[in-house]
Amino acid sequence: MVRRTLVAAAVAALAAGVSAYAANPFSDVSTSDWAYQAVSQLSDQGIVEGYPDGTFRGQRNITRYELAQIIARLMANEDQFNVEQRATIDKLAGEYADELDNLGVRVSNLENKVGNISWSGDARVRYIDFGGNKGDQWDGRMRIQASAQVNDNTRVVGRLRTDMNFRDDDSTDSTYMDALYVDHQFGNAVDVQAGRVGVVFGDQAGWLFGDARGLDGVKARVNFDQDSYVNVGFGRFNASSSGVKDHDAFFAQGRTNIGTSTLGVDYIRFTGDENEAGTLNTGWHAGDDNAELLGASLNVPFNNFRVFGEYWKNTTTSSDYDTAWNAGLGYGHVNPKAPGTWQLDVAYNDVDRDVYFGDTGLTTGTLLAFSKDGATNVRFWNAMADVALEKNVVLHGEYAFAAKADNVADPSDSYSVTFNFLF
Residue 279 pLDDT > 90 = no
3-state secondary structure of 281: coil
How do residues 21-42 score in pLDDT, each as one tens digit? 345 555 667 776 778 878 877 8
- Higher per-residue confidence, 21 vs 214: 214
pLDDT level of residue 401 (50, 70, 90 thresholds): very high
Span 229-255, average pLDDT = 82
Highest mean pLDDT (candidates 129-133, 282-286, 338-342, 369-373): 338-342
Give the pLDDT score at 287: 47
Give the pLDDT score at 111: 55
Conformation bin of residue 46: beta by default, left when phi > 0, alpha when psi is -120 to 50: left
* 360, HSE (Cβ side, Cα atoms, 13 Å): 21
Give the pLDDT score at 85: 80
Kindly report the pTM of this predicted structure: 0.72
- Higher per-residue confidence, 220 vs 64: 220
Span 187-196, average pLDDT = 92
Give the pLDDT score at 56: 60
Q: What gap in Å lies between CA 261 and CA 256, rounded to an integer?
A: 8
CATH number of 115-422: 2.40.160.10
Q: What gap in Å lies between CA 230 and CA 72, rounded to an integer?
A: 31
Domain spans in the chain, listed from the N-terminal domain onward: 21-113, 115-422
Residue 404 pLDDT > 80 = yes
- Higher per-residue confidence, 85 vs 381: 381
| DSSP state letter for 131 | -
Give the pLDDT score at 25: 53
Q: Which residues contact 6 (CB under 8 A, 6 or more apart)?
A: none
pLDDT level of residue 281 (50, 70, 90 thresholds): very low
Proportion of the chain above pLDDT 90, given as a percent: 40
How do residues 336-362 score in pLDDT, each as one tens digit? 888 999 999 999 999 998 888 777 888
Residue 19 pLDDT > 60 = no
DSSP3 helix / strand / coil % (the chain, rounded to 5)? 20, 45, 35
Q: What gap in Å lies between CA 312 and CA 324, rounded to an integer?
A: 5
Cβ pair 156, 182 in contact under 8 A: yes
Q: What gap in Å lies between CA 334 and CA 330, rounded to an integer?
A: 12
For the chain, the maximum distance between any two Cα atoms, rounded to a whole number of angstroms, is 101
Describe the crossing of helices 64-76 and 34-44 by its angle, rounded to 10 degrees.
40
Conformation bin of residue 135: beta by default, left when phi > 0, alpha when psi is -120 to 50: left
Residue 139 pLDDT > 80 = yes
Q: What gap in Å lies between CA 377 and CA 321, rounded to an integer?
A: 7
Q: What gap in Å lies between CA 351 and CA 353, rounded to an integer?
A: 7
DSSP string spanning 356-422? Answer: --S--S-TTTHHHHGGGTT-SEEEEEEEEEEEEEETTEEEEEEEEEEEEEESSPPPPPEEEEEEEEE
Cβ pair 252, 266 in contact under 8 A: yes
pLDDT level of residue 200 (50, 70, 90 thresholds): confident
Residue 245 pLDDT > 80 = no
Adjacent-strand bridge partners of 123: 142, 421
Q: What gap in Å lies between CA 366 and CA 185, rounded to an integer?
A: 38
Cβ pair 90, 107 in contact under 8 A: no
Closest CA to 324 of 379, 400, 267, 402: 379
Q: What gap in Å lies between CA 162 and CA 166, rounded to an integer?
A: 13
pLDDT level of residue 14 (50, 70, 90 thresholds): very low
Give the pLDDT score at 413: 93
8-17, 26-35, 252-261, 393-402: segment of lowest average pLDDT: 8-17
**Could you give the C-alpha distances from 266 to 1, 107, 202, 299, 319, in angstroms and in order?**
77, 38, 9, 14, 21
Span 106-127, average pLDDT = 76
How do residues 86-110 score in pLDDT, each as one tens digit? 778 888 888 888 788 777 766 655 5
Give the pLDDT score at 243: 56
> What is the overall mean pLDDT for the chain?
81
Cβ pair 61, 31 in contact under 8 A: yes
Give the pLDDT score at 157: 94
